Chain A
Amino acid sequence: MTGPLYEVFVRAKRGLNHVHVGSLHAADDRTALSHARDVYTRRNEGVSIWVVRADAITASSPDEKEPLFDPAGDKVYRHPTFYEVPDDVPHL
C-alpha cells in the first residue's frame, strides 16, 4: 500500500449529512480525496467528500471504566496493531 489509512465521509445529496462510507489508503490528503471519489462516489453534482486520516480521529470509549486508567482520547479501532491470523481457523 501507498500510505496511511484514511476514513471517508460522503454527502450524497444536498440537504443530507456526510456519512461514513469506509476507508482507503493513500500517500497524502489530495490523493486520498481522489481515491475516495473513484471508489466511493460516482460523478454526481453536489457530492461532497471528506477524507480524514484515521489516526487524526479521536474516539469515545464504550467502557465507562477506561477513562480512569487509559488516555482520554483513543483510536477509532481498539486494536490498531498487526494481528497474527492463525492457520487453524478453517476455510469458511
Chain B
Amino acid sequence: MCPTSEPGGTAAVDHGPYADLDATDPAHWAFGTGFADPLAGIDPELPEGLDRTGHAALCLLLGDDALVYSHRLSEWCSRAPDLEDDVALGNIALDLLGQARLLLARAAVVDPTVVPAMPVGSPVPAEDALAFFRDAPAYHSSRTAALANGDFGHTVLRLFLWSTVRLAVLQRLVDHPDPVLAAIAAKGVKELTYHRDWSGRWVVTLAQGTEESRGRMVAAFDALAAARVELLGRYPDAGVEAEDVLDQLLDAAELRRPEEGADAGLADDLPDLLAELQSVARAHPMGRW
C-alpha cells in the first residue's frame, strides 16, 4: 500500500490489472480496504491571533524530530532479527515520516520564512526544501532522535522513551486551536500508542529473556539515561505523565532505574545523518522527483 497525502477522503484501493484476477467475492480475501486522508475535511484556515513564528517552530520541533527518527528506524530495513520485526519497524518509520510530512508542510504554510530559499524556478516543494536544504543547525530535532543506531535492544528502548514522551505531547495537542495540528495530533496519538506498546513489550521481553539480553538491556538503559533527560526536558508539560509510564515499564522489566544526574552527554549525530539524507536531493536542486 502506498501512503500518500492526496486530499479527497477515503480512497478505494485500485488494483489496476489485477482487479479481475480472481472472480470470487473479495470478501474471501481480506484485502486492505483503502486508507483515509487524515486531513480530509479539515479547514486549513489559520485561526485568528495565532503567533505564526511560535507555531511554525512548534511544528518543526515535532516534525524534524519525527523525520530524523524515522531515518534511524528505516536503517533497520532488511536488517531486523526477523521479517516480522522488519515489517513492524518499517511501519513505524512510515508512520513518523507521514507525521513529518504533514508537520513540515504546515510549518511552511504558517511561516514561509522558515523555508530555505531555493534557486529561481526550482520545482522542489516546501516540505522537501525544509527536509533536504536546511543545514543541521537549522533543524529542531532532538539529539536522541539522531543518535546512530545501537543494537536491537538499544533500538527498542530508545523507541519506547521517544514514543512515550511524544504520545503525551500529542495527546495535549488534539485540541489545539490550529485544526490542522489537532488533526495531525489525533492521527499521531493512534500511531504512537502502537509504537509505545510494541517497543515496551520488546523492552520487557529482552529484559527478562536470557542473561545476554538482560545484560544488553542494562547497558542500553545506561547509554540512554541522558536521552531520557533530554526528551523530558524538551517537553516539560508532558513530562510527569510520560515519566510515570516510563517508570511502570522499568518496574515491569525489573531494570534498575538510572541514577539522576547521570549525564553521559549525547552525541550529535545529526550532521552525518543529514549528509546521507540530503545527498541525492542536494545534487539536483532543480530536480523533479
Contact = CB atoms under 8 A, between A and B. Distances in A.
A43 B87 contact: no
A25 B84 contact: yes
Q: Which of A11, A21, A38 has the most B CB atoms < 10 Å from its CB?
A: A38
Contacts of A24: 84
A31 interface: yes
B29 interface: yes
B171 to A, nearest CB: 18
B30 A11 contact: yes
A66 B270 CA distance: 65
A13 B87 CA distance: 23
Interface residues of B, number: 22
Interface class of chain B by DSSP: helix
B27 A31 contact: no
Given A41-B32, A42-B1, A44-B34, A26 B27 contact: no
B228 interface: no
Contact of A19 (B30, B34, B81, B205): B30
Nearest to B91: A38
Contacts of A41: 30, 32
B210 interface: no
B4 interface: no
B260 to A, nearest CB: 33
Given A1-B82, A31-B201, A12 B33 contact: yes
Nearest to A9: B30
Contacts of B84: 2, 24-26, 35, 38-39
A2 B206 CA distance: 12
Nearest to B29: A19
Nearest to A15: B27
Interface string A7-32: 00011110011110100111100110
Given A2-B82, A27-B205, A31-B201, A39 B30 contact: no
A60 interface: no
Contacts of A58: none
B27 A38 contact: no
Contact of A12 (B30, B82, B91, B201): B30
For the complex of A and B, the 9 pairs showing the least CB-CB separation, nearest first, are: A10-B30, A12-B30, A35-B84, A19-B30, A38-B88, A42-B32, A16-B27, A38-B87, A21-B30
Interface of A: 1-2, 10-13, 16-19, 21, 24-27, 30-31, 34-35, 38-44
Given A1-B82, A19-B29, A42-B32, 20 more contacts: A2-B81, A2-B84, A10-B30, A11-B30, A12-B29, A12-B33, A19-B30, A21-B30, A24-B84, A25-B82, A25-B84, A31-B201, A35-B84, A35-B87, A38-B84, A38-B91, A41-B30, A41-B32, A42-B35, A44-B35
